[in-house]
Amino acid sequence: MMMAGAATVDGAAVPARAPPAAPSVAATSKAQLRPLPRRNPILPALLVAAAMVLATTPPGAFGLGLLSSSSFSSSSSSVVRRSPLPPPSSESRFAPASYSSPLRFSSLSSSLHASSDEDDASSSSSPSASTPPRPLLEVGIVGAGPSGLLLAHRLLSSPSYAASVTIFESRPDPRANTDAAALEGRAYALGLNGRSRAAMRSVPNNNDGGGDRLWHEVKERGYESDKFVLRIGTKLKLKLRDGAPKLPRGFRDDDDDEPPIEPTVLIYQSDLCAALLDDLERKYAGGDGSKLTLRFGEKVNGVDVDSNYVRAA
């Protein structure tokens, strides 16, 4: 005879499990009505305040704008040396402003302009005082590429300060050897357009023509071209430029008399560097008072900004 609510397994009576009890309505409602944990309201308020500050701050107030006024003021004063100490034999000494960052050099040049203006004002106040000499700026440029050589032109021709420039280049002189292995990395074909012409013509003029002569010497070593065609395969041909165009309407006074835009000059990087080097040496190298020192085949291994020394080998 079997008992109600029980089962038999191998002749033994096993009591059946009781059905699960229904959840208590009071317990369920209490759990549902439990309040959520309180969050700290300070963090969202800080995020909202930061977003409002960023939204109302003009561009340039952060980052470079702050650095140009405070962080670089102390370094600029350490660069200008009117009476430099004799350098050690194993190291070269000069101001490291040119290759650290463009911003640093900009702040340096502005400080030099400010100091020269102050000197001029003080000298003009006293009639007997003589004009003070221009600040002496010793600059080292790492890399004798087009940018480094053009920077040397701008520094040495500036009327704001007297500069002496030392250029370090790990590769040999591009004018000394025309072998392909020696010119590796300089055989790129470059196209010099309006911006390149403006950069070279921005060199201050002197008795020999200044930037116009520099641009003429560069142009003589390249090839002028005013027609460019893009070919894709054997069937597709796109004319990117056909003939020397004129300036767009609105940028010229007379459509008939306005000369066309100058053609682009195609030149190898090695030839461009050779032209810039020849002009630098002709103007500033040679003699006891040489302002230019070229050190080819020397690689810069380290820079000590605090003492204004570099290690080259």
Q: Look at residues 2, 29, 32, 4 and name the one whose alpha carbon lies nearest to residue 18.
A: 4
Residues 6+ apart with CB under 8 A from 196: 265
Burial (CB < 10 A; 0-12, 13-18, 19+), residue 4, is exposed
Question: Nearest-5° angle of CA 160, CA 164, CA 166?
Answer: 140
**Torsion, Cα of 30, 36, 38, 41 (10° steps):** -150
* pLDDT, position 117: 45
* pLDDT, position 257: 56
Q: How many Cβ atoms sit within 10 Å of the Cβ of residue 14? A: 10
* pLDDT, position 143: 92
Asked if residues 175 and 277 have their Cβ atoms less than 8 Å apart, the reply is yes
Beta-strand ranges (E) seen in the chain are 6-9, 12-15, 92-93, 136-142, 162-169, 189-192, 223-225, 227-232, 236-242, 264-268, 292-296, 300-304, 309-312
Max Cα distance, the chain (Å): 136
Q: d(Cα 285, Cα 271) in Å, to the nearest integer?
A: 20
Tens digit of pLDDT at every position of the chain (313 positions): 445 455 555 555 555 555 555 555 455 445 455 555 556 666 666 666 666 655 554 444 443 333 333 333 333 333 333 334 344 444 555 544 433 333 233 333 333 333 344 444 444 444 445 566 667 888 899 999 999 999 999 899 888 878 889 999 998 888 886 665 555 666 678 888 888 888 888 887 655 555 578 888 898 999 888 877 888 888 888 877 776 555 555 555 555 555 567 788 989 888 999 999 999 998 888 766 678 999 999 988 888 888 878 888 7
Q: How many Cβ atoms sit within 10 Å of the Cβ of residue 98? A: 25
Domain regions of the chain by residue span: 67-122+132-180+277-312
Residue 256 structure tokens: 């008939």
67-122+132-180+277-312 has which CATH code? 3.50.50
pTM for this predicted structure:
0.53
Pairing type for strands 264-268 and 189-192 reads antiparallel
Asked if residues 276 and 153 have their Cβ atoms less than 8 Å apart, the reply is yes
